[in-house]
Chains A and B, each alone.
Chain A
Amino acid sequence: MPKQIILAAHFPGVNNTTVWSDPRAGSQIDFDSFEYLARTAERGLFDFFFLAEGLRLREQRGLIHDLDVVGRPDTLTVLAALAAITTNLGLAGTLNATYHEPYELARQLATLDHFSGGRAAWNVVTSPGAFFGENFRRGGFLNHEDRYVRAAEFIQASRTLWDSDGNDFSVKSSQFAIEGRFGVPRSPQGHPVVLQAGDSVGGRELASQHADAIFSRHHQLEDAQEFYQDVKQRVIKHGRDPGSLKIIPGVSYVLGDSDADAQEKAHYIRRQQVSPQTAILLLEQLWNTDLSGYDADGPLPATDPVLDEDDTIIKGRAGMYPDRLRTAAEWRATAEAKNLSIRDLIIEVTGRQNFIGTPSRIAEQLNEYVQTDACDGFILVPHLTPAGLDDFVDQVVPLLQERGVFRTEYSGGTLRQNLGLR
């Protein structure tokens, strides 16, 4: 039997992939939008719904970033409400290990697991710096290494609480000293599913020891296969079954009646995603300096990026460019070779949709990725709120089912069981 594909639906938010200027774009905050996407995902028999967490609004050039969709709800509160209107869909949310505390969060996740009949999942992330701390008691931040220490200890502490089942617990570690009695009986999954989203060596190690799934961002087939092998080797090194860690990249897609039609639509969407103002902002994120004087329809700056990683121009977003000079050189070469303006270049080099084509081409490609161990499934990131997943559910899911690589009905089990985890 071929590998079965895992599918998840990411609620669109906070970056320029979410097109708000489209007349069909709905509210980013009304519950109706969340309900619509969750119902669509459940209609498509998806494994889970995914919601990110906001801890502070992004800033660029010291000002609140105003070009992308801004504003989102509290993760757990929306997931608890969605539990009321769905039956089988997993409910996954990002919750930061730096700005939550184990007793409170483990209790909330166990509550969600009970209230959803075993559908809760937690995407553990660590915070990229002091910026978020200004909204929280603890303030400050942890240095890079301690972030993963805290995340690992946080997960372990949570598991201790979930396992305590009414008995006294005690956790003593470098980050936590807590004891008492956990007020939640063992939940349907025992342990809600744990996802991890970091890509660094520290993140990979954390995931291979403690997580059930990785929300990855490797999209090119060979690159993704390499990542998959690397992580699975780490899983084995830590004495785990390689099947106990699922690798699920976040991906975008564009469907068309023909491949050419899909390419045309993809380009149109890219232009909507990259307004002239957004093009300058995205260029600034690599150049790391104020480029507001530049014309988006003009050429790239002649100067080089500013190499100051302690004071980046954008705050509240994880670093995207490990080697600014090299990336800038590549962008310049592309712009010169194709005679591209700043906006055209940004459209070309950032955020291109991962899968573009007819439903049958996309079904074929997705299946190829999974069967050749580039990943175990996908977290789909629609570009429209809330109806952006409709075409995928209506047109691609049936083709995956025909190939025998996606369920034709829910088994009625927990999220953990649906994902093939123990």
Chain B
Amino acid sequence: MTLRLAVALDSASFDAGEWAGWVRRADEARLDFVTFDDRFGKRGPDAVLTAARVAPLTRHVGLVPVATTTHTEPFHLSTALATLDYVSKGRAGWQVRVSADPAEAALLGRRDPLQVPALFEEAADAVEVVRRLWDSWQDDAIIKDVPTGRYIDRDRLHYVAFDGKYFSVKGPSIVPRPPQGQPVVAALAHSPEALVFAGKSADLVFITPSDVYSAEKIKSKLDPALKVYADIAVFIGDDALVRRGSATSDAAVFAGTAAQLADLIAAWAASGIDGIRLRPGDLTEDLTRITDDLVPELRRRGLFEPSSATTLRERLGLPVAVNRYEGAVRA
């Protein structure tokens, strides 16, 4: 069986050329997607804008920025991610994050941090609103009907009318339904709360098993429709052990040759996961080892095959997103 392959990009670089170099490398190796890490308190660029900056320079690779729901406007998140889907022609995703950090709350100054259960409850509401807004235009809403002078058929636009505990949003979106309909929603889950959130709100979850057995155990508890990707932090090459040093991670840490990493991935594939997200210890060195050494090795072993799909949803084996408002009568 083959696995899908992703790489996590985490850097404080503000050099657009450097970012373009990394993402092009992933694109040329036909990796399935890259994620862009982000937090408000982190030194580094805004992840959605980083993804947008590299979108016109790449053709295949999915672009999945982290964006936080805790202090942000669901309306802006929805329009920004829909727009990323347009500029990337159907390659956008979103890794949802919550912020429990009081220092981040002070940066935004909107309110005090919430408790963890409330953070995920609010995140679920935010994803619901974002998804409704993506659907709030039917695909055929723009009619350009000269005899009646109408550019749109407003019966094919829908108020999302979300009224929740944390916010309310009326809609419709200002952005027509994005190319994928629903860009891919992902979440990293360490905790039970996060796993429940991912099961309810996401299309894809990143898990951090310590070995193949824990991967299998986590996978067995999840909805089979949820795509599951195991994270591995990797240091690759002859000097990997030295470079790894005493590095620790929330995910399993691998240090060794590309062939040894291929062995590990082959073993993990048996757990039933859909893919692997590699977190390069060093973006330049380890990403190069991934694209130049690991990918050919995995292809030789039949563990990875470049996808010919044009949208990220399709590449990840997600069904075509049916519009929840299709066929609905406008209130």
Closest residue on chain B to residue A35 by CB atoms:
B56
A71-B176 contact given A84-B20, A111-B14, CB 8 Å threshold: yes
Main secondary structure of the interface of B (DSSP, over half): mixed
Q: Is A139's CB under 8 angstroms from B107's CB?
A: no
CB of A74 within 8 A of chain B?
yes
A64-B149 contact given A78-B83, A103-B108, A104-B40, CB 8 Å threshold: no
Closest residue on chain B to residue A179 by CB atoms:
B106
Instruction: List 12 contacting pairs A-B, 8 Å CB cutoff, sorted by A.
Output: A20-B144, A31-B87, A54-B175, A72-B175, A73-B82, A73-B83, A74-B83, A77-B48, A81-B56, A107-B46, A114-B45, A183-B44
Interface residues of A in 8-26 (CB under 8 A from B): 20-21
Closest residue on chain B to residue A133 by CB atoms:
B170
Q: Is B45's CB under 8 angstroms from A111's CB?
A: yes
**B213 CB contacts on chain A under 8 angstroms:** none
Q: Is A30's CB under 8 angstroms from B168's CB?
A: no
**A137 CB contacts on chain B under 8 angstroms:** 73-74, 110, 166-167
Interface residues of A in 49-98 (CB under 8 A from B): 54-57, 63-64, 66-74, 76-78, 80-81, 83-85
* 3 residue pairs, one from A and one from B, having the closest CB atoms: A54-B174, A277-B149, A178-B109
CB of A135 within 8 A of chain B?
yes
CB of A1 within 8 A of chain B?
no
Q: Is A101's CB under 8 angstroms from B71's CB?
A: yes
CB of A180 within 8 A of chain B?
yes
Q: Is A69's CB under 8 angstroms from B53's CB?
A: no
**A83 CB contacts on chain B under 8 angstroms:** 16, 53
A111-B49 contact given A81-B56, A276-B149, CB 8 Å threshold: yes
**B247 CB contacts on chain A under 8 angstroms:** none
A112-B49 contact given A76-B80, A135-B170, A185-B14, CB 8 Å threshold: yes
Closest residue on chain B to residue A178 by CB atoms:
B109
CB of A321 within 8 A of chain B?
no
Bound form: Cα–Cα A204–B274 in Å: 58
Bound form: Cα–Cα A117–B157 in Å: 39
Q: Is A77's CB under 8 angstroms from B49's CB?
A: yes
Number of A-B contacts (CB under 8 A): 182
Q: Is A180's CB under 8 angstroms from B14's CB?
A: no
Q: Is B49's CB under 8 angstroms from A68's CB?
A: no
Q: Is A77's CB under 8 angstroms from B144's CB?
A: no
**B73 CB contacts on chain A under 8 angstroms:** 99, 136-137
**B49 CB contacts on chain A under 8 angstroms:** 76-77, 80, 108, 111-112, 115
CB of B89 within 8 A of chain A?
yes
Instruction: Name the distance in Å between B287's Cβ and chain A's nearest Cβ.
Output: 20
**A114 CB contacts on chain B under 8 angstroms:** 14-16, 45
Bound form: Cα–Cα A116–B53 in Å: 9
CB of B296 within 8 A of chain A?
no
Closest residue on chain B to residue A180 by CB atoms:
B107
Closest residue on chain B to residue A85 by CB atoms:
B56
CB of B200 within 8 A of chain A?
no
Bound form: Cα–Cα A71–B50 in Å: 24
Q: Is A57's CB under 8 angstroms from B149's CB?
A: no
Bound form: Cα–Cα A70–B148 in Å: 16
Q: Is B106's CB under 8 angstroms from A180's CB?
A: yes
Instruction: Name the distance in Å between A370's Cβ and chain B's nearest Cβ.
Output: 34
Bound form: Cα–Cα A20–B16 in Å: 36
The 8 Å CB contact of A139, one of B20, B56, B149, B168, is: B168
Bound form: Cα–Cα A103–B107 in Å: 6
Binary contact track A107-123/B, C-beta < 8 Å → 1, others 0: 11001101111000000
**A72 CB contacts on chain B under 8 angstroms:** 174-175
Known interface pairs A74-B83, A81-B56, A112-B49; 8 further A-B residue pairs with C-beta atoms within 8 A, sorted by A's residue number: A31-B87, A70-B151, A73-B86, A76-B49, A78-B83, A101-B109, A104-B108, A107-B40
Bound form: Cα–Cα A271–B152 in Å: 20
Instruction: Name the distance in Å between A262's Cβ and chain B's nearest Cβ.
Output: 25
CB of A29 within 8 A of chain B?
yes
Q: Is B79's CB under 8 angstroms from A73's CB?
A: yes
Bound form: Cα–Cα A177–B166 in Å: 21
The 8 Å CB contact of B53, one of A68, A73, A115, A178, is: A115
CB of A304 within 8 A of chain B?
no
A84-B53 contact given A73-B86, A111-B46, A179-B106, CB 8 Å threshold: yes
A66-B151 contact given A81-B55, A108-B46, A112-B49, CB 8 Å threshold: yes
Bound form: Cα–Cα A80–B65 in Å: 14
Bound form: Cα–Cα A35–B251 in Å: 40
Binary contact track B107-120/A, C-beta < 8 Å → 1, others 0: 11110000000000
Q: Is A29's CB under 8 angstroms from B53's CB?
A: no
Instruction: Name the distance in Å between B202's Cβ and chain A's nearest Cβ.
Output: 21
